[in-house]
Amino acid sequence: MSETKPAGDANQTLSQDPHAVREPRDKNLESAIGHEVRAYRKKLGITVTDLSVATGVSIGMLSKIENGNISPSLTTLQSLSRALGVPITSFFRGFEEPRNATFVKAGKGVNAERRGTRAGHQYSLLGLIDNNTTGVTVEPYLITLTTDSDVFPTFQHEGMEFLYMLEGEVVYRHGEQLYTMQAGDSLFFDADAPHGPEQLVTLPARYLSIISYPQR
């Protein structure tokens, strides 16, 4: 009934290093300014050459600024703010913004109602950080299915979703494929395809569901 697909090439190199260490904070300031200058320039659809003409700052200097290799003077930042049409404080946004975290004690998740939920399907939201710096919203849920569960819902929404089975056994549908999931099994998929628990084999069943999608 189920079909298992390989997770991909085990030798594939991922772009994100989970053990990366940031530069010292004083170096992060240059990087933050450079990131914002590049972002505002691209938003206007102008080239480094165009910005150089508008500000009188050399192309080489602008490249160093955008790459975070140099600390621009206040005069240079003023020229950039005028040319890009933004307040000078905008260049420090990425450096000054706080980085938030959510801590939830065991059993203290917020019970949430999702469209398509049925009786006996309990969704506990384990945390949420609004307006974060990544441009991505992530919703982590602890889902519990019991013998009281009604007709199984089929969800379909934007973003990606990751499931990790904690206990019990369910047959989970994604599109036309069915996956028998037991403790320790995981499923990662494009949430735009119809998906949801097709059969509840061993109850109670609990699994983590982590949904990510672009911030609106």
Q: Give mean pLDDT in consecutive 10-residue pieces for the chain, a chain of 216 residues.
A: 52 61 60 89 93 94 92 93 91 68 70 54 80 77 81 81 96 95 96 92 94 85
pLDDT at 11: 55
pLDDT score for 215: 78
Judge contact between 191 and 123, C-beta under 8 A.
no
The pLDDT of residue 2 is 47
Q: Could you list the beta-strand ranges (E) of 12-150.
A: 110-112, 121-125, 136-145
Tell me, what's the pLDDT at 40? 92
Q: How far apart are CA 187 and CA 189, in angstroms?
A: 7
The whole-number pLDDT of residue 91 equals 87
Q: State yes or no: cis peptide before 204, omega within 30 of 0.
A: yes
pLDDT at 26: 44
Dihedral sign from CA coordinates of 51, 55, 58, 61: negative
Query: Across-strand partners of 149?
Result: none
Measured from the Cβ of residue 14, the count of other Cβ atoms closer than 10 Å reads 6
**What is the DSSP pairing of strand 195-214 with strand 160-174?**
antiparallel
pLDDT tens, 100-151?
Answer: 677 777 776 666 555 445 556 788 888 877 766 677 888 999 999 887 666 5
Residue 214: its pLDDT value, please? 86
Task: For residue 211, count other CB atoms closer than 10 A to its CB.
Answer: 19
Tally Cβ neighbours within 10 Å of residue 145: 20
Task: Give the predicted TM-score (pTM) of the model.
Answer: 0.59
Between CA 135 and CA 147 the distance in angstroms is 38
